[in-house]
Structure 1
Amino acid sequence: MSRTLTVEGMSCEHCEQSVKEALEGVAGVEDASADHESASATVDGDADPDALVAAVREAGYDASA
Structure 2
Amino acid sequence: MAKISVDWDLCESNGVCEAMASDVFHLDDDDLLQVDDPIVTDENRERVERAVAGCPRAALSIVED
* TM-score (norm: length of structure 2): 0.43
Structure number, greater radius of gyration: 2
The structure, 1 or 2, with the larger RCO (C-alpha pairs under 8 Å, 6+ apart) is 2
Q: Which structure features the higher share of strand residues?
A: 1
* TM-score (norm: length of structure 1): 0.43
